[in-house]
Amino acid sequence: MRFFFLILLFVSVSLYAQDKCELTVDQKTGKPMLIGITKTVDFQDSNFYQWFNSQYTDYKPDSSAVKFLSENLKGKKILIVMGTWCSDSRREVPRVIKILDEAKFPESDLKIITVDRKRKAPGFDPDSLKIEYVPTIIVYENGKELGRIIETPVETLEVDLVNILKKKEE
């Protein structure tokens, strides 16, 4: 029975690891960074939780914008390309995650790709999406880009997301 459990655990970990980010070292600072497809739970690693949790907890999204998003993000997909080494990403990504959580946006419709300083990650070509700066937050509907937020919002993250969705309606 113990052998069966170990085999099951190994297979589960192997399958999960194929779609997982890796912890590596930033050559510029010598500090840890994530590279690859990342889940929000990965930010609870001891290297990242402090900045992630403080930005997430301290940010207070506009409730009327969140209400609009909860009603209008249905059927949409969101891609976030970020760097755990980047101060803009460390500020904006936890905040957008909080907005999406409050809007009850399903994590299955959210994809986060963490990149290195050259905006590269295994299996990811930043040029194909014209990613020049991080974070870049892209909203999709039926595979078509509706709009993006690059580095910092024009107004606030939630208002910029609302504006992307309203622009679609025009």
- Looking at the structure of the chain, the number of domains it has is 1
- Does residue 15 belong to any structural domain of this protein? no
- Does residue 31 belong to any structural domain of this protein? yes
Query: Domain range spanning residue 87?
Result: 21-169
What pLDDT score was predicted for residue 87?
A: 97
Per-residue pLDDT of the chain (170 residues; tens, 9 = 90+): 443 333 333 333 333 444 689 999 999 999 999 999 999 999 999 999 999 999 999 999 999 999 999 999 999 999 999 999 999 999 999 999 999 999 999 999 999 999 999 999 999 999 999 999 999 999 999 999 999 999 999 999 999 999 999 986 66
Q: Are 122 and 36 in contact (CB under 8 A)?
A: yes
What pLDDT score was predicted for residue 141?
A: 97
- Rounded CA gap, 107 and 97, in Å? 9
What pLDDT score was predicted for residue 3?
A: 37
Amino acid at 129: L
- Does residue 13 belong to any structural domain of this protein? no
**pTM for the whole thing?**
0.87
- Does residue 106 belong to any structural domain of this protein? yes
Q: Give the CB-side neighbour count of residue 94, counting CA atoms within 13 A.
A: 23
Q: Which phi-psi region, left, alpha or beta, contains residue 35 (left: φ > 0; alpha: ψ -120 to 50)?
A: beta
What pLDDT score was predicted for residue 44?
A: 96
- Does residue 9 belong to any structural domain of this protein? no
- Does residue 91 belong to any structural domain of this protein? yes
- Does residue 1 belong to any structural domain of this protein? no
What pLDDT score was predicted for residue 14?
A: 36
CATH number, position 87: 3.40.30.10
- Does residue 10 belong to any structural domain of this protein? no
